[in-house]
Amino acid sequence: MTIKALFVILFILSGFVASAQRISAADSVIVAPKEPVHSPRKATIYSAVLPGMGQIYNKKYWKVPLIYIGFGALGYFIDWNNDQYVLYRQAYADIVDDDPNTNSFEDLNFEGRWDGQRQQFTTALQRAKDNSRRNRDLVIISTAAFYALNIIDASVDAHLFNFDISDDLTMNWMPGPVYCMDQKLIGIHCRIRF
């Protein structure tokens, strides 16, 4: 019985020893380092979080100042139209309340233009108030559209990041004769080379 047990133990240990002596051959294939994949999703998220950050991720640095100039101009027009709306709203409220102590509308009566025409002046103030509010709201909508355009631009640029725009892409237009059934016709040759 002891010989059988000794034989089983030696058999098991020889399996461990044999596997310990196996040397795995090193892989001889040279693997090129992986280039990081340019992710359109990342560019979209970056541009949504902070406008212009997606363009920086796409290495289109020249677009960042344009984005911030656009947002600055739209912000200025929102503020200006809102100031005009508040001014005309207050003047309209003062002219319709018939209180002699509230007369901010007189600041808008340039050179006495509306003297004696109070009803027309009231209508003009209401129209100016409505136009200012409409313009302010349109600029706010334009700002939202500009923000969406910023995100779309970053996404499209990321999709086209690896697009080939080398000098080998050419197209030539040449006027010349086109031969058709032994007759010369005037036509244009178009040659596209990739």
**What are the tens digits of pLDDT across the range 90-135?**
888 888 887 777 777 776 765 556 556 778 888 888 999 999 999 9
Average pLDDT for runs of 10 along the chain of length 194? 72 62 65 84 96 95 96 97 92 80 69 67 88 97 98 95 72 68 70 63
Query: Degrees (nearest 5) of the Cα angle 80, 84, 86?
Result: 115
Does pTM surpass 0.75? no
Q: Measured in whole angstroms, how far is the alpha carbon of residue 57 from the centre of its chain?
A: 12
Candidates 73, 167, 91, 75; CA nearest to 128 is: 91
DSSP 12-61: HHHHHHHHHT--PPPP-SPPPPPPPP--HHHHHHHHHHSTTHHHHHTT-T
**Structure token pair of residue 128:** 């100016």
CA distance 131 to 136: 8
